[in-house]
Each structure stands twice: as structure tokens, then as C-alpha cells.
A and B are shown apart, each in its own frame.
Chain A
Amino acid sequence: MRYVLMFVGSSEDQDAFEKLPKEQLAAAYERAGRWFEEHSKAGRIVGGAELQGPNTATTVRLKNGKAMVTDGPYIEAKEIVGGFAIVEVKDLDEALAMAKGWPAGAVEVRPVVDHSND
């Protein structure tokens, strides 16, 4: 079963994170890196990425048949997705166990629609 783990944090968390002293920032990145490495080695990670901040986001929205381009994320939310991982595991409990090991913030776990039998 495939799930997407979305790594979520508030923009304040994000700001605070970016203002961390160099060594602490490096340590945090290392913990996240280790998480990815461990689960990749075990064959649980299919894909994923760390995203740049919402200030770099551009939203394209179809309106009356026309694609409108606007600055900013698709929704002004207190919490933003900072990255994601696509994982392949047996069931929700395994996905939750991975999410529990993520070193910071919140993780939203969403099952992926299986189109293999369509």
C-alpha cells in the first residue's frame, strides 16, 4: 500500500527553523537525512522532496476555462507543507510508525489511490 507523508509545520516554525544556529540547523537536517536514508535502505521510500518556502510558490488555477496565475500558495494556511515522501508499506500502522520517527512538526499521512486495477 502506498502513502504520501506530508511534512507540515507552521510558518513560525519554519522561520524559527531557518534562524537556528548553523550547527543546530545542520543537526536537524542530518536527523531528517538519516530518516530518509534508513527508510530508503529498507525499501520503504519510493520518492519525495523537500520543498522551498511558500514565498516561492506560484498557483495556477483554472477559472472559467482560463488558467490564472497568482503569486503565493493555493491556500493561505497557518501550516504549510515543507516536503513529502511517497512510501510503500504494508498498512497504515507501518506508515504511522514512519511518521512517528520524523524528527519535527506534524506529518499528514494520506493513502494513495490505487489505479492498478482500473
Chain B
Amino acid sequence: MTAALVRALGDFDLAEEVVQDSLVAALETWPKQGIPDKPGAWLMTTARRRAIDILRRDRRYRDKLALLERSDMTSDPAEADDRLRLIFTCCHPALSQEAQVALTLRAVAGFTTAEIASAFLVAEATVAQRIVRAKRKIVDANIPYRVPAGTELADRLDGVLSVLYLMFNEGYLSRGAQAAMRRDLANDALWLTRLVARLMPDQPEVVGLQALMTLNLARSAARFDEAGEMVLLPDQDRSRWDSVAIADGMALLDRAGAMHAPGPYQLQAAIAALHSEARSWADTDWHQIVVLYDALLGHVDSPVVRLNRAVALSHFAGPEVALGEVNDLALVLSGYHLFHSTRAELLDQLGEPVLAREARRRALDLCQNPAERSLLERKLRS
């Protein structure tokens, strides 16, 4: 019955949930009203009705319907394996990462080339050419259609996850000039990640990435105000965060953690979880966040991670210490707008408005996202 509903609804979690609900309804109703003539059909009808109710009530109803149209998630193991093979082939390292992203969106998520082009702000012909070339290379160089095994799996899975995360980030905070956030793309990245997580349930980093995306999306409603202006984490109205999604994200993180193999996505999800748990920016467990950033640096020593760590550090070690750490990154991060806006914030705290202003101007010069630009402009005016 669940399998049939999965096919009908295209959503495994939802199908399971409504089957559970209809069984509960049966337990409550049948003893009172007697067992219906066709109990199986009764259960099915109840489950379907329940599913429609849930979908209607969901404020992401339309998003989900759009997803359902192109998803044919199935519990048929042969088809599931097929899909997984397809994802690994699309994300083969012998293809450029741009091609991997385009091909995954096209072949797995069912995007049109026009949709991919608009999501990444490139010409449709460019996307089409990327896809054609990638497909040709798959055939000509005989890139196998398989899920790698053994020691190869970890590396290749990393590649798949970075494609999914890139897709998500492009959706979550678009570089483009059209919209600050493309929820469709972020949602689709989450959908794909959930698919991989379901097909490879014993891979903690996949679940970790799913948790990270879920926790980030949970804050969506508070990230922009009525005028469409971006609101940063310290100023967000936390009552607008989606507490159900946060609980989901936490549960996912617990499930990943239970596998005892921490990795960069789980650690980033854990940092997001600490933010989600805090009642306010000031109440945030900054010590723990710095500990998590240190662990993250053990996996990926990137200057951007160091920059974020410095922000967390400033909350208990003070802005001067943090600014020292940030300044150490000048050589590698001078072209990154968040390096300059972070410096601006710290300089403000240190009572250096002139230097802060200068740093903010440089951030503005480098920033492409319209919402972030507008935020910087507002601060420069104030």
C-alpha cells in the first residue's frame, strides 16, 4: 500500500505518514462502526484523502506539486538503483562541475535547459551545449553507468554532494540580479539530496547535507522582510522560523551523528542547529560554535570557514581578537565581499566608523547579490 501511494504521491515520507494515519483511523473507527466491506480500499481512500489534506495545508503546496510532477520516486529497488547510477554518472569527475550540475538538473530532476539557464544566469545555448558535450563524452570516453564501490565510493560521493550543495547555495542566495533567492532550486537540491539519502541510508554525510539544507531552509521566511530586503541572522524574527522543519533537521542530524563518522556537512549542520536552537543572536552558544568550526577546519581548511569562525569568536573573545584573525586572511580573501563586510562590522564594534565605512564600500564593490548589495547600501547611508 505504501508503495502504491509512493507512486501516486511521489513522496515517500508523505506516503508513509498517511498510511500510518489511515491505520490509526481504522483502529479508531472499525471497532465502533464495524469492519468495512473492502478494508483495503477503505484504508487506501482514507490515506489518499489524508494526503490531499496534508498537501493542501502545507504552505509549500505549490512547490511540492511542482516537484511531484517531475518526481517519480519509487520503492522499486531496481528503479531506485537505476536512479542512483544516473546521479553518479551525471556527477562523474571526468565532467566539468558546471556540466555535472546541468546534467544532474536535466537528467535527474527533469529541469528544462531554459530553466537551468535561468537558474544559473547563463545563455540557454550555453547550457544546451554543456549538456550535449557532457553526454557525448559519457558515450565516447565510455564513462560507466554505475555506483562506485569500495574505497572509490567516498571520493565519488563527495563529488555528488558538492554538486547538490552548489545547487542548493545557488538557490539559497543567488548570485544573479533577478532574485535574491530561488526557492525552487534550493528545494530541488534538497529533494535530490533526500533521494540520495534514501538510496544510501548508511552514508552519514548525505544525511548531514540533508540536515544542513533543511535547517537553512527553515529560516527562509525570516530572511527577507515585506519589502524583499534581506535580514541577516542577528536581526531575524525567530518566531517566523519553521519549527517543524527545524525539528526535522535536528532529527536528521541525530540520525547522521548516530553513525559516528562526522564530516564537513554534519558539522555545518550542527552549527546551523545551534543557531536554530538559540532564542536570540546573543543567546547563541558561541563557544560550541567555535569548537565546531575548529572541527570543520580539521576536514576542510578553508579561509571562508576561518572567517566564519572569527565571527563566532568575536562574541566571547571580543572584536579586537576577531579582527586580528580576520586580517590574517586578507591575502586570500581580499576579493570576497563578506571578508570586507565582516571587517566593517568588527570595526564598528571597535569604534572605528571611518575604517568601517571604507571596508563596507569595498564589500559593496565586490558584491553581486542584489539583496546583499541593498543591505550594504542601507548600512552605508545610516
| Closest chain A CB from B142 CB (angstroms) | 5
The CA-CA distance from A90 to B94 in the complex, in Å, is: 16
Mask: chain B, 42-58; 1 = CB below 8 Å from A; 0 = not: 00000000000000000
* B-side contacts of A90, CB under 8 Å: 144
* A-side contacts of B148, CB under 8 Å: 93
Partner of A1 from the list B94, B142, B146, B152 (CB cut-off 8 Å) is B142
* B-side contacts of A97, CB under 8 Å: 152
Check A91 for interface membership: any CB of B closer than 8 A.
yes
* A-side contacts of B69, CB under 8 Å: none
Q: Is the CB of B142 within 8 A of A111?
A: yes
Chain A residue with the shortest CB-CB distance to B146? A93
Size of interface on B: residues with Cβ below 8 Å to A: 9
Check A92 for interface membership: any CB of B closer than 8 A.
yes
Check A96 for interface membership: any CB of B closer than 8 A.
yes
* A-side contacts of B140, CB under 8 Å: 111
| Closest chain A CB from B160 CB (angstroms) | 15
Check B331 for interface membership: any CB of A closer than 8 A.
no
Query: Which residues from 148 to 175 on chain B have a C-beta closer than 8 Å to any C-beta of chain A?
Result: 148, 152
* A-side contacts of B141, CB under 8 Å: 92, 111
Question: Interface on A for B, CB 8 Å cutoff?
Answer: 1, 90-93, 96-97, 111
Question: Interface on B for A, CB 8 Å cutoff?
Answer: 94, 140-144, 146, 148, 152
20 residue pairs from A and B, CB less than 8 Å apart: A1-B142, A90-B144, A91-B142, A91-B143, A91-B144, A92-B94, A92-B141, A92-B142, A92-B143, A92-B144, A93-B143, A93-B144, A93-B146, A93-B148, A93-B152, A96-B94, A97-B152, A111-B140, A111-B141, A111-B142
